[in-house]
Amino acid sequence: MLTTLLLFIPILGGFLLTLIPGTNSTRWQALFLSVLAGALSVYMAANFVPTGGVQFEAQNNWLPNLGISYHVGADGISMVMLLLTNLLSPLIFLSTVKKDMDHRGLFYGLMLMMQGAMTGVFVAQDLFLYYIFWELALIPAYFLVLLWGTGQNRKTAIKFFIYTLLGSLLMLVAIIFLSQQWSPASFDISKVYEVDLSPEAANFVFLAFMLAYAIKIPIFPFHTWQPDTYTQAPTAGTMLLSGIMLKMGLYSIIRWVLPVVPGAVQANGPWVIGLIVVGVAYASVIAIQQKDLKRLFAYSSIAHVGLIAAGILTMSSEGLTGSILQMFAHGVNAIGLFYVCSILMDRTQTNDIASLGGIRNLAPWFATTYFIVLLGSVALPLTNGFPGEFMLLSSLFNQNWVWSLVAGSGVILGAVYMFKSYQGVMLGETKVNAFADLDIWEKLVLVPIVIAIILMGLLPGLITRIAQPAIDQLLQSL
C-alpha cells in the first residue's frame, strides 16, 4: 500500500494539475505533493529492515492472459533510489519558486508525473510494468525540453526522444523474448531471474538492454544527445534528467542485467568497460574546452556516470557498493551545480565563463555554497563524492589496472576543469556590475545540498547500511 501511494501521489496529482489552468498557487500545490512523496519515502526508509529481501510489496493480477501483473516493492537498492528521487524532487520544485513561466499547470504536472514514473522504475517487480514506467518517464521529459527549453530546443527535444525511444524498443523486444521462456508467459521478476538462456540468447539480451541503458545514462559513444539537452532544457528539467533520470539506466543494469545474464556480463563486460573508461577520459578532455558553464557540467556528468557504470560491470562488492554511493552523491551534486548555473543566468543573463568573474567579492554566501558543491563533485575526502569514487576506482584496479589508470585520469582532469571554471566565474577581476547574494529561497535549496555533501562524506554508512544486504544477496545469487 505504501509503495502504491508513493507511486500515484505524484502521478495522479501531476495529471490533475495538467488539466487545470496554472495560477500562483499551482507551484505550491505541486511542491506540497512532491514533499508529501518525499516524507512518505523517509517513513518507508525508517521502517525498512535491511535484510536483502523485498519489502512494502504489493501484487495483483493485471493482464493475466499475458502474464503481466502489478507487482511493486523495494529492496535496499531500490530504497536508496527512492530516497534519491523523492528527496531531491522537492528541492527541484523549490528551485522554480521565483520563476515566472507560461502554462504552470502543465509544467508542474509534467514534473510530478516524471517524479512518479521514475519512482515506478525503481519499485517495479514485473518486467513489463518496469518498461511502462521507463517509457512514461520519457514523455514528460520530452515536453519539458520542447515547451520550456531555449535555443534549438525543438530539434534537441526530438533528437533526445528518438535516441531514447529507439534503444527502448530494442529492449522491449528482449523483454518479450524473456517472457516467452515459460508457458504460460510471465514477466514477474521471480521468473525472469530463473531464466536459463543459451550463450547466444544471453548475449542478445545483454546487448539489447545495455544499448537502452547506454543511451539513457549516457555512455560514450551514445552520449551525443546529452550536452545539448542538458544545456537547452529548463534548469528544473536538467536537474531531473541529470540528478535522477539517468540513474534509471544505472539502477537497471544492477536490477535487470547482472542477475538475468551474468554469463553475458562476464563475456562482454571487459570490452564494454574498456569503452566506458575511454569515454570517461574523453568527456573530461571535452569538458576542459567548454566556455559555457552549463555545458561544462553536462560533460562532467558523462564522465562521472561512466565511472559508475564501469564499476557496476565489474560485478564486485566494491563496484556495486561504490556505484550506489556515487549514484546518490552524483544526484545531489548535479542538482547543486545546475542550480548554480540557474542563479548565474538569472543574475547576469549568461553562463559564459569569460563574461563572468569576481563574483566572490559580491556574494560570499553564493561563493561558499558553490565551492562546497564543487568539492563534492571533485571527490575531495570527507565529501560525498569521495567514498563511492574511491571504491569504484578500486574495483576497476582489482580487475585491470589499465582501466583504473584511464578512469583515474578522468578524475584528475575533473578537478582541473572544475577548479578552472570556479576561478573564471568567482575569482579575479569583477566583470559584473551587480550580483545579489543568495536570498532565502535559494538558501533553502543550496543549504540542504551542502549539508548532504558533508554528511554523506562523513557517514557513508547511512546509505550502505540500507543497500549492502541487497548487494550481498545479489552477488551470492550470481
Nearest to 248 by CA among 331, 352, 175: 331
Over its C-alpha atoms, the chain yields an Rg (Å, rounded) of: 21
DSSP element (H, E) containing 465: helix 461-477
Does 93 or 167 have the greater pLDDT score? 93
pLDDT at position 310 is 93
Which pLDDT band, with edges at 50, 70 and 90, does 235 fall under?
confident
In this structure, what C-alpha cell is assigned to residue 49?
Answer: 529492515
Does 206 or 154 have the greater pLDDT score? 206
Which pLDDT band, with edges at 50, 70 and 90, does 375 fall under?
very high
For residue 377, pLDDT beyond 80: yes
pLDDT at position 196 is 83
For residue 430, pLDDT beyond 90: no
pLDDT at position 53 is 85
- Is residue 312 within 8 Å of residue 323, measured between CB atoms? yes
103-162: pLDDT as tens digits: 888 899 999 999 999 999 999 999 999 999 999 999 999 889 888 878 788 888 888 888
How many Cα atoms within 13 Å fall on the side-chain side of residue 111?
Answer: 34
Residue 402: count other Cβ atoms within 10 Å of its Cβ: 12
pLDDT at position 229 is 84
pLDDT at position 361 is 86
pLDDT at position 99 is 78
Mean pLDDT of 370-374: 95
pLDDT at position 76 is 92
pLDDT at position 411 is 86
137-172: b (≥16 Cβ within 10 Å) or e: bbebbbbbbbbbbeeebeebbebbbebbeebbebbb
The predicted model scores a pTM of 0.93
pLDDT at position 320 is 95
Mean pLDDT of 89-96: 92
- Is residue 300 within 8 Å of residue 333, measured between CB atoms? no
Q: CB neighbours of 395 closer than 8 A, spacing ≥ 6?
A: 311, 314, 316, 318, 319, 322
pLDDT at position 352 is 86
In this structure, what C-alpha cell is assigned to residue 299?
Answer: 560533460
For residue 429, pLDDT beyond 80: yes
Q: CB neighbours of 460 closer than 8 A, spacing ≥ 6?
A: 325, 384, 387, 388
pLDDT at position 335 is 94
For residue 18, pLDDT beyond 90: no
Does 435 or 472 have the greater pLDDT score? 472
For residue 4, pLDDT beyond 90: yes
Rounded Cα distance, 68 and 438, in Å? 50
**Nearest 5 degrees, angle CA 117-CA 120-CA 123?**
160
268-323: pLDDT as tens digits: 989 899 999 999 999 999 989 889 899 999 989 888 999 999 999 999 999 999 99
pLDDT at position 355 is 87
For residue 426, pLDDT beyond 80: yes
Which pLDDT band, with edges at 50, 70 and 90, does 197 fall under?
confident
Classified as helix, coil or strand, 53 is coil
